[in-house]
Chains A and B, each alone.
Chain A
Amino acid sequence: MTQTRTDYRLSQLDQLEAESIHIFREVAAEFEKPVLMFSGGKDSIVMLRLAEKAFYPAKIPFSILQVDTGLDFPEVMETRDRWVSRLGVNLVVASIDDAIKNGIIPDAAKISRNRLQIPTLLNAIEENGFTAAFGGGRRDEEKARAKERVYSHRDEFGQWDPKMQRPELWSLYNGRLHEGEHMRIFPISNWTELDVWDYIGREGIEIPNIYFSHQRRVFERDGMLMSETPLNPIREGEVVEERTVRFRTCGDITLTGCVESTASTIAEIIDEVAIARKTERGATRGDDRFSEAAMEDRKKEGYF
């Protein structure tokens, strides 16, 4: 049995964990068919860990859903498979290639599949009848997210209307839906990037190895270091060279850049994050750079 805490104080990480577990249980109790959107990145792994803790020793009472862009890092998929088999959860994969083949989405014939994730995801939600979808979004990530609720309502088109958000008070969440609507749930809204790393370190849980320093053949594009891969042909003037790098986020391999780093342990990553001068998305995500409202626009359409 753990030691009695005489001061009845919880560390901030314990408080965040308790709040997130509360959200998971609330959703499992009130929604007919929740699903956890899993990208394989650190935030979705922290979500899985919290879900594991919320329902232990029962299995997580909902499926996990992954949008397969066809452009995911192989290392991320391996980690995903190990988590799925350890927890014994049901995995639903929504593939962009299949969606194109089946005529659900048009073949835009562009390498950036970021936008194609949206209709693929919305189709998977509708087809499976999911009424709530957990996402790993954090409010510290981006200023449109800073105003998003924990329970974020989506209409029958999957759209988010930032002006029509429901007030969210105390820890009383309103999960009411009409036919065809669904709710996005953000159980780690109040976590920062540093909290996520602290938690991964404390819990000793597996994350994809691309988060740690490794040798990789990369080239520079738009001020970011991109992986050499047949999926992302290099352009004129771009030079491939081997560098010591790591990734701060896991996204589409053609859009997610890495940073030069020698951080090979969680503790070293935490030190690096603590002194980082750029946000994780600003530094390494091509998809957020298009305009000041890039994230807000994608969110309105139904992005994560």
Chain B
Amino acid sequence: MGIDTTRDTTHRMDLLRFATAGSVDDGKSTLIGRLLLDSKAIFEDQLEAVEATSQSKGYDYTDLALLTDGLRSEREQGITIDVAYRYFATPNRKFIIADTPGHVQYTRNMVTGASTADLGLVLVDARQGLTEQSRRHAVILSLLRVPHLVLAVNKMDLVDFDQKVYDEIYREFTQFATKLNVPDLEVIPISALSGDNVVNRSENMPWYSGPTLMHHLEHVHVASDRDLIDARFPVQYVIRPKSDEFHDFRGYAGQVAGGVLKPGDEVVVLPSGMTSKISKIELFDQEVAEAFPPMSVTVHLEDDVDVSRGDMIARVKNAPTPSQDIDAMVCWMTTAPLQPRQKLAIKHTTRNGRALVKDIQYRLDVNTLHRDQETKELGVNEIGRVTLRTTVPLLVDPYSKNRTTGSFILIDEATGITVGAGMING
């Protein structure tokens, strides 16, 4: 029996983005392959190609990892290097998986995958229990404020579906998780290979009364994870048609980053501090009564104030703080280390500027959570607490409050490459 793939024609299906982390040994590819197969997201020709390749390589079984390893160099080396995105759907939900490699030298890929995830899925091998790697995955997901965490205890079939094994991992992990920021945790005993508790409830583990993995993914409540209190509207683009029909039209286009915007709201435009009222909000040719994340809309103001790209519209009594001194956790993503006094380009919401590294306060050991204050630089795949001074004020919120207005990227000005990802403290 597979997943019911009957379609919902009302288009009210919602979306869950989740990130998976793990290595080949944890059975991650097998698990993803199973989710895709059971939800009919894998097609005959894809499966046939994988079966043929497995056979020609002399494998005893069909290697489902071949479904997900997309680049030639990955297939040649038999490892996943990059973040891959996969898609499947059940009647109520569409799922986007950011499938990331698990080794420490790929921390930056995991950070990338986790940046947009509503849920993080960490796999552990029941035979080995919690490893340094599984702890690291949980730490990264927590740093990136992924609101829901699932620990899948895999290969339960290889420990005779023993409840004691599960209980021990559960106890050890919940104890570790108290040091992290994990608002919602589910620990699910599974066997990806035989399918126990993946889609169908396992008959081998009557002692487990929680949800199956699929049931949890389908029902976990993510709508309330967004900030619907603090209105934040970074202006992306000013729409001025300059046509006879829409002669005086001046609309501010952008994607709502927080809160709920309504016509009549008293708003402030930052950084200028000018105030006005929202006269109307449009989505294409329709007026809407309110706009909330992640809607892309066009906002009109009553007064003819000066608004341009990079500005932010917020409520008069609830606005972000313009700041040129930024204190943030930074994940460094390139080989040449991050050092004090270094100058970089910075992009925050729709605002661009330059940043100077004032100080590297500490490097965080993502395996132990130890703060190394001796190191004065950050190497590739390392995460640390950094102070920056920017050329323009950024309109920031703490990342813990808003993942859009609390995040930024750092760009090497010479190469143009994205070299760092930042999460603002506060």
A143 at the interface (CB under 8 A from B): yes
Tell me if B180 counts as interface (CB < 8 A to partner A).
Answer: no
Q: B43 an interface residue at 8 Å Cβ cutoff? A: yes
- Taking a contact as CB atoms closer than 8 A, the residue among B71, B350, B407 that contacts A144 in the complex is B71
Tell me which residues across on chain A come within 8 A of B253, comparing CB atoms: 25, 54-55
A178 to B416, CA, bound (A): 8
Partner among A17, A28, A147, A169 whose Cβ is within 8 Å of the Cβ of B421: A169
Interface string of B48-59 (1 = CB under 8 A from A): 010001000000
Chain B interface size, as a band, is 35 or more
B294–A170 touching, CB < 8 Å: no
**A57 to B283 alpha-carbon distance, docked (Å):** 11
Contact in complex: B409, A172 (CB < 8 Å): yes
Whether A22 lies near B43 (C-beta < 8 A) is no
Main secondary structure of the interface of B (DSSP, over half): mixed
**Would you list which residues of chain B between 277 and 302 have a CB under 8 Å from chain A?**
283-290, 292, 294-296, 298
Q: How far is the CA of A48 from the CA of B166 in the complex (A)?
A: 52
Min C-beta distance of A3 to chain B, whole Å: 7
The answer to whether B240 has its CB under 8 Å from any CB of chain A is yes
Partner of B82, one of A1, A165, A172, A282: A165
For A190, the chain B residues whose CB sits under 8 A away are: 85, 87, 96
Distance in Å: Cβ of B99 to nearest Cβ of chain A: 8
B418 within 8 A of A: yes
- In this assembly, does A85 line the interface, its C-beta being within 8 Å of a C-beta of chain B? no
Separation of A270 and B298 alpha carbons in the complex (Å): 31
- Number of residue pairs A-B, CB distance < 8 angstroms: 204
**A171: chain B residues within 8 A (beta carbon):** 116, 255, 404
Q: How many chain A residues touch the partner (CB < 8 A)? A: 72
Assess A169 versus B111: contact at CB under 8 Å? Given A147-B71, A282-B46: yes
A252 CB–B CB distance under 8 Å: no
| A170 and B416 within 8 A (CB) | no
C-beta contact mask, A1-43 vs B, less than 8 Å → 1, else 0? Answer: 1111101111111111111011001101100000000000000
Chain B residue numbers with a CB within 8 Å of A8 are 223, 226, 228, 260, 292
Q: Are B14 and A139 in contact (CB under 8 A)?
A: no
A residues within 8 A CB of B71? Answer: 144, 147, 162-163, 296
Q: Which residue of A lies closest to B72 (CB)?
A: A293
Give 28 A-B contacts (CB < 8 Å), ordered by A residue.
A4-B289, A8-B226, A8-B260, A12-B93, A17-B296, A18-B296, A22-B255, A25-B254, A25-B296, A26-B236, A29-B350, A56-B239, A58-B243, A169-B112, A170-B404, A172-B347, A172-B348, A172-B407, A174-B409, A189-B85, A192-B89, A194-B89, A195-B94, A270-B7, A276-B43, A277-B44, A282-B46, A293-B72
Q: Which 5 A-B pairs have the closest CB atoms?
A: A176-B416, A143-B70, A282-B45, A21-B296, A58-B241
* Besides the known contacts A59-B241, A146-B86, 7 further A-B residue pairs in the complex with CB atoms under 8 A apart: A12-B94, A25-B236, A55-B253, A143-B69, A162-B73, A170-B404, A194-B89
User: Chain A residues in contact with chain B, CB under 8 A?
Assistant: 1-5, 7-19, 21-22, 25-26, 28-29, 52-59, 139-140, 142-147, 162-163, 165-172, 174, 176-178, 189-190, 192, 194-195, 198, 202, 270, 274, 276-279, 282-283, 292-293, 296
